[in-house]
């Protein structure tokens, strides 16, 4: 409890009146705060979804101001959201904006949703869920003000500044999405027929081959050697998909990488926090352009022991600065820059997204 | 807990007291920093920024904004550090100053309207939003008179314009519209009198020509708007630099071009402006040209240091 020895009487009166009017429970535990809630509870509450009002934080601590946003779309396969900027300057509203009042949001203050100021952002940039609204409900709300008259209207420059502030927050995500560069890797163990079944092999091939064909996925050379050495039975019903993958390789030989994944031991892993594959991926992240901050890893849940792929707790012996952001998405700091690792366990189904213990499991990616 | 102890203390104080000595101290520091930039004759009730005036402002922001409007909750939800919260407090103090002035603008207009019209007393549910917004759209077309520097509450409308506004209100809301209805219309229409506009006005030493009538003021505004939107960014920057007495060498440096090319670009931009105003009455032309430098302020680049002012000898991007 903070003491208040020198609080002036007008402020004591004002805060007392405020508390009385709002009946605020100031000691309530915020379940959206990981420090006060269990990891599983936080993960469930933190899963990005349409209609959430959340804080959007910059990728790096460079002084860029965080802002409140409304999530209007969430794509778990790329771990990216589309957000609309919110502001407390509701008197600046125009016919393009919508005022979200406390009775709609449950928040104590009014916010203005600037539907013409929108951008994509990575999951790891999202702060706690502050409120959730029904997007269909706000579609028919009246406009928040009159149209902006032109450059001489004060709201013209104001909105440009608001747009700039969202661009500063979302720049890395927007550029990576527009670039459509190589930002996915396949787990070498997932192509090793000594470690996986025919069915699992087919699953991983079906998920990754289209990405490789579009030039978005790197294939470790070591994994291809393993695949070639063991050969799948041509009579097998999975042969066709494997053949597709092998036929893709000569056409995209620039995507077959010899370093650094080929030196990795291909074996079931102990914990994602200490796994050498993730160490290798952090080295890949370090070499990526500054605007590339998200990396997808296609793997099989069966290759990871127990629930280690989805466990909330970080290992005490962890050599990585790895923190679970939400289901299947991990936050990593590499050379002082924030990245996100999106783990696609392609053998997980939607029905298995929540285990009996309440731990979230990775959703099946859309490509699968 | 965050890795920022000062921010943690502020969060803790907010959880336990809503607002206590730490937040109060932060706000007092912000008010001390913001107020010297605002003319006390315009923004301070006492006409000066003394301890009493600053305390009034601190109380105004605390009671009406941070607590009643729950802006402290907004700041806590939006921020992840003390510096972010401080920046939001800065903005809130500036908005409060501007909002208080805007209230005076609308109050004065309502005072003048009372001498022209007898309002009905407020009762019943009031007009629908649709009818109110329809009236707003018509009132928005009524021309306004210019704002003069150091004017505490700009008059905004001539008496004839006020009569037109009252007629519009009557046509759309019925003859029994209330003073409160008219205030709502004016709050919508005068959004452009909000913070940034007032700050820009205060930063100027210029006031629109007082001899222009409302119709001519409207023409000036239209021409400036047209000019602003039809000129390219480069053209605006060139004109802004020349109007600010920057040399051709500086213009050349700014665009990475030679000095003669810079001079040529300015001549082209000047010709463009001349074409836009050539058919206007002389008085309106003068008003447009007087106003132009202020409209182009945002396009004026920061002066380069002396060592950076060497114009390149070759064209880098023509």
Q: A71: distance to nearest CA of chain B, Å? A: 15
CB contact under 8 A, A88 and B74: yes
Contacts by residues B241-247 (CB-CB < 8 Å, ≥ 24 positions apart): B241/B300, B241/B301, B242/B266, B242/B269, B242/B270, B243/B292, B243/B293, B243/B296, B244/B293, B244/B300, B246/B303
Question: Is there a single domain that holds both residue A262 and residue A331?
Answer: yes
Question: Is there a single domain that holds both residue B264 and residue B241?
Answer: yes
Q: Is A2 on the interface with B (CB under 8 A)?
A: yes
Q: What is the pLDDT of residue A236?
A: 66
| Token representation of residue A146 | 């009159």
A153 or A65, higher pLDDT: A65
| A250, A212 Cβ separation under 8 angstroms | no
Question: Is there a single domain that holds both residue A145 and residue A290?
Answer: no
Q: Is residue B209 part of a domain?
A: no
> In A, which residues are within 8 Å of B79 by CB distance?
65-66
Q: What counts of helices (H) and strands (E) characterise chain B?
A: 15, 0
Q: What is the pLDDT of residue A309?
A: 60
Q: Is residue B318 part of a domain?
A: no
Q: Is residue A117 part of a domain?
A: yes
Question: Is there a single domain that holds both residue A198 and residue A340?
Answer: yes
* pLDDT band for position A257 (cuts 50, 70, 90): low
Q: What is the pLDDT of residue A269?
A: 55
Question: Is there a single domain that holds both residue B88 and residue B136?
Answer: no
Q: Is A336 on the interface with B (CB under 8 A)?
A: no
Q: What is the pLDDT of residue B18?
A: 93
Q: Is residue B302 part of a domain?
A: yes
> In B, which residues are within 8 Å of A7 by CB distance?
17, 20-21, 24
Q: What is the pLDDT of residue B36?
A: 85
Q: What is the pLDDT of residue A292?
A: 86
CB contact under 8 A, B99 and A91: yes
A238 or B284, higher pLDDT: B284
Question: Is there a single domain that holds both residue A129 and residue A197?
Answer: no
Task: Report A:61-100 residues touching B (Cβ under 8 A).
Answer: 63, 65-68, 88-89, 91-93
Share of chain B residues as helix, strand and coil, in percent rounded to the nearest 5: 70, 0, 30
Residue A308, phi-psi category: left (phi > 0), alpha (psi -120 to 50), beta (remainder): alpha
How many residues does this entry show for chain A? 368
> In B, which residues are within 8 Å of A26 by CB distance?
15-16, 18
Question: Is there a single domain that holds both residue A305 and residue A208?
Answer: yes
Q: Is A169 on the interface with B (CB under 8 A)?
A: no
Q: B254: distance to nearest CA of chain A, Å? A: 22
Q: What is the pLDDT of residue A107?
A: 95
Question: Is there a single domain that holds both residue A65 and residue A199?
Answer: no
Question: Is there a single domain that holds both residue A268 and residue A326?
Answer: yes
Question: Is there a single domain that holds both residue B162 and residue B194?
Answer: yes
- Alpha carbon separation from A64 to A56, A59, A115, A160, B84 (Å, rounded): 11, 9, 21, 16, 9
Q: Which of B192, B202, B219, B224 to probe by mutation at the A interface, max A CB count within 10 Å?
A: B192
CATH number of the domain bearing residue B225:
1.10.10
- The winner for highest mean pLDDT among A12-16, A119-123, A232-236, A349-353 is A119-123
Question: Is there a single domain that holds both residue A115 and residue A253?
Answer: no
Q: B303: distance to nearest CA of chain A, Å? A: 22
Q: What is the pLDDT of residue A40?
A: 53
Q: A227: distance to nearest CA of chain B, Å? A: 47
Q: Is residue B277 part of a domain?
A: yes
pLDDT tens digits for B243-280? Answer: 666 666 777 778 887 766 777 777 777 777 777 777 77
Q: A357: distance to nearest CA of chain B, Å? A: 27
Gap between the Cα atoms of B246 and B303, Å rounded: 9
- The winner for highest mean pLDDT among A134-143, A234-243, B65-74, B293-302 is B65-74
Q: B196: distance to nearest CA of chain A, Å? A: 6
Question: Is there a single domain that holds both residue A235 and residue A268?
Answer: yes
pLDDT over 90 percentage in chain A = 26
- Split into its structural domains, chain A has a count of 2
Question: Is there a single domain that holds both residue A199 and residue A167?
Answer: no
Q: Is residue B139 part of a domain?
A: yes
Residue of B nearest to A159 (CA): B196
Q: What is the pLDDT of residue A66?
A: 95
Q: Is residue B133 part of a domain?
A: yes
Q: What is the pLDDT of residue A311?
A: 56
- Domain end, chosen from B184, B203, B222, is at B203
Q: What is the pLDDT of residue A364?
A: 30
CB contact under 8 A, A27 and B67: no
Task: Report A:142-161 residues touching B (Cβ under 8 A).
Answer: 142-143, 145-146, 149-155, 157-158
Residue of A nearest to B21 (CA): A7
**Partner-chain residue, chosen from A1, A109, A154, that has the shortest CB–CB distance to B197:** A154
Q: B110: distance to nearest CA of chain A, Å? A: 20
Between strands A322-326 and A329-334, the pairing is: antiparallel
CB contact under 8 A, B83 and A63: yes
Q: Is residue A99 part of a domain?
A: yes
> In A, which residues are within 8 Å of B18 by CB distance?
15, 18-19, 24, 26
**Partner-chain residue, chosen from A108, A127, A145, that has the shortest CB–CB distance to B73:** A108
Rounded to an integer, the average pLDDT of A305-332 is: 64
> In A, which residues are within 8 Å of B295 by CB distance?
151-152
Q: What is the pLDDT of residue B220?
A: 77
Q: Is residue B225 part of a domain?
A: yes
Q: Is residue B84 part of a domain?
A: yes
Q: What is the pLDDT of residue A34?
A: 46
Q: B26: distance to nearest CA of chain A, Å? A: 14
* pLDDT band for position A366 (cuts 50, 70, 90): very low
CB contact under 8 A, B295 and A151: yes
Residue B22's contacts (CB-CB under 8 Å, 6 or more residues apart) are A2, B9, B10, B13
Q: What is the pLDDT of residue B270?
A: 76
Q: Can you tell me the ipTM of this complex?
A: 0.81
- Domain end, chosen from B173, B203, B233, is at B203
Rounded to an integer, the average pLDDT of A241-268 is: 62
Q: A362: distance to nearest CA of chain B, Å? A: 28
CB contact under 8 A, B192 and A10: no
Q: What range defines the domain where residue A93 resides?
A: 30-171
Q: What pTM did the predictor assign?
A: 0.67
Question: Is there a single domain that holds both residue B111 and residue B99?
Answer: no
3-state secondary structure of B155: coil
* pLDDT band for position A346 (cuts 50, 70, 90): confident
Q: What is the pLDDT of residue B21?
A: 95
- The winner for highest mean pLDDT among A145-154, A346-355, B172-181 is B172-181
Residue A336, phi-psi category: left (phi > 0), alpha (psi -120 to 50), beta (remainder): left
CB contact under 8 A, A109 and B69: yes
**What is the four-CA torsion angle of A307, A310, A311, A315, rounded to 10 degrees?**
100
Interchain CB contacts (distance < 8 Å): A and B: 133
Question: Is there a single domain that holds both residue A331 and residue A203?
Answer: yes
Q: What range defines the domain where residue B282 resides?
A: 214-308
> In B, which residues are within 8 Å of A14 by CB distance?
19, 62-63, 67
Residue of A nearest to B129 (CA): A142
- Domain end, chosen from B103, B120, B138, is at B103
Is the pLDDT assigned to residue A318 strictly greater than 70? no
> In A, which residues are within 8 Å of B196 by CB distance?
154, 157-158
- Domain end, chosen from A110, A138, A171, is at A171
The residue written with tokens 């409140």 in the block is A68
Q: What is the pLDDT of residue B279?
A: 74
- The residue among B144, B169, B44, B163 whose CA lies nearest residue B96 is B44
A320 or B82, higher pLDDT: B82
Least confident interval from A7-11, A201-205, A228-232: A228-232
Question: Is there a single domain that holds both residue B242 and residue B261?
Answer: yes
- Split into its structural domains, chain B has a count of 3
Residue B222's contacts (CB-CB under 8 Å, 6 or more residues apart) are none
Question: Is there a single domain that holds both residue A302 and residue A223?
Answer: yes
Q: What is the pLDDT of residue A351?
A: 35
* pLDDT band for position A126 (cuts 50, 70, 90): very high
Q: Is residue A194 part of a domain?
A: yes
- Alpha carbon separation from A108 to B19, B27, B92, B270 (Å, rounded): 15, 21, 17, 53
Low-confidence ranges of chain B (pLDDT < 70): 1-3, 102-104, 121-125, 145-154, 191-217, 243-248, 259-260, 282-283, 302-318
**Partner-chain residue, chosen from A35, A92, A143, that has the shortest CB–CB distance to B191:** A92
Q: What is the pLDDT of residue B167?
A: 93
Q: What is the mean pLDDT of chain A?
A: 76
Q: What is the pLDDT of residue B101?
A: 73
3-state secondary structure of A339: strand
């Amino acid at each position: 409890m903070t003491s208040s020895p020198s609080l002036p009487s007008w402020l004591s009166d004002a805060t007392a009146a405020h508390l009385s009017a709002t009946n605020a429970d100031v000691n309530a535990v915020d379940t959206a705060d990981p420090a006060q809630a269990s990891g599983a509870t936080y993960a469930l509450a933190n899963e990005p979804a349409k209609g959430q009002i959340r804080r959007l934080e910059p990728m790096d601590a460079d002084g860029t101001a965080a802002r409140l946003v409304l999530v209007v779309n969430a794509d778990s396969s790329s771990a990216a959201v589309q957000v609309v900027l919110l502001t407390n300057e509701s008197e600046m509203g125009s016919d393009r904006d919508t005022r979200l009042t406390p009775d709609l949001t449950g928040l104590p203050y009014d916010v203005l949703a600037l539907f013409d100021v929108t951008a994509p952002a990575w999951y790891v940039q999202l702060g706690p869920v502050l409120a959730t609204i029904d997007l269909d409900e706000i579609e028919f709300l009246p406009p928040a003000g009159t149209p902006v008259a032109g450059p001489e209207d004060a709201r013209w420059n104001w909105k440009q500044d608001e747009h700039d502030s969202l661009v500063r927050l979302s720049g890395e995500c927007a550029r990576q999405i527009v670039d459509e560069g190589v930002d996915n890797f396949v787990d070498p163990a997932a192509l090793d027929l000594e470690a996986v079944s025919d069915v699992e092999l087919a699953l991983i091939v079906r998920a990754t081959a289209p990405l490789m064909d579009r030039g978005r996925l790197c294939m470790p050379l070591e994994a291809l050697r393993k695949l070639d050495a063991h050969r799948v039975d041509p009579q097998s019903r999975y042969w066709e998909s494997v053949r597709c993958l092998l036929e893709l390789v000569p056409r995209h030989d620039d995507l077959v990488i010899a370093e650094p994944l080929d030196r990795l031991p291909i074996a079931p892993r102990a914990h994602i926090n200490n796994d050498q594959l993730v160490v290798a991926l952090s080295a890949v992240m370090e070499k990526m352009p500054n605007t590339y901050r998200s990396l997808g890893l296609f793997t099989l849940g069966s290759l990871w022991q127990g629930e280690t792929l989805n466990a909330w707790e970080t290992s005490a012996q962890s050599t990585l600065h790895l923190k679970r952001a939400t289901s299947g998405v991990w936050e990593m700091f590499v050379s002082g820059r924030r990245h996100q690792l999106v783990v696609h366990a392609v053998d997980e189904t939607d029905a298995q997204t929540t285990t009996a213990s309440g731990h979230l499991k990775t959703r099946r990616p859309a490509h699968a | 807990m965050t890795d920022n102890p000062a921010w943690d203390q502020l969060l803790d104080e907010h959880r336990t007291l809503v607002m206590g000595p730490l937040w109060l101290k932060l706000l007092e520091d912000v008010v001390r920093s913001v107020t010297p930039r605002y003319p006390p004759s315009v923004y301070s009730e006492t006409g000066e920024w003394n301890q009493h005036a600053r305390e009034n402002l601190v109380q105004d922001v605390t009671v009406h904004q941070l607590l009643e409007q729950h802006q402290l909750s907004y700041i806590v939800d939006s921020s992840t550090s003390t510096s972010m919260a401080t920046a939001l407090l800065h903005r809130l103090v500036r908005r409060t100053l501007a909002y208080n002035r805007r209230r005076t603008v609308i109050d004065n207009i309502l005072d003048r309207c009372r001498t022209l019209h007898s309002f009905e007393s407020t009762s019943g549910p009031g007009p629908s939003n649709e009818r109110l917004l329809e009236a707003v759209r018509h009132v928005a077309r009524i021309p306004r008179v210019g704002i003069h520097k150091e004017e505490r509450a700009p008059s905004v409308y001539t008496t004839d314009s006020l009569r037109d506004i009252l007629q519009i209100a009557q046509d759309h809301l019925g003859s029994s519209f209330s003073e409160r209805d008219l205030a709502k219309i004016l709050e919508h229409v005068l959004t452009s009198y909000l913070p940034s506009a007032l700050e820009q006005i205060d930063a100027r030493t210029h006031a629109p020509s007082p001899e222009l009538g409302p119709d001519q003021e409207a023409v000036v505004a239209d021409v400036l708007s047209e000019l602003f939107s039809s000129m390219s960014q480069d053209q605006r920057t060139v004109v802004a630099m020349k109007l600010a007495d920057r040399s051709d060498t500086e213009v050349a440096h700014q665009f990475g071009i030679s000095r003669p090319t810079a001079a040529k670009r300015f001549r082209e931009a000047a010709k463009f402006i001349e074409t836009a105003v050539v058919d206007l009455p002389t008085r309106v032309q003068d008003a447009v040209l007087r106003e132009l430098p202020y409209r182009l302020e945002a396009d004026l680049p920061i002066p380069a240091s002396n060592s950076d002012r060497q114009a390149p000898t070759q064209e880098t991007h023509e």
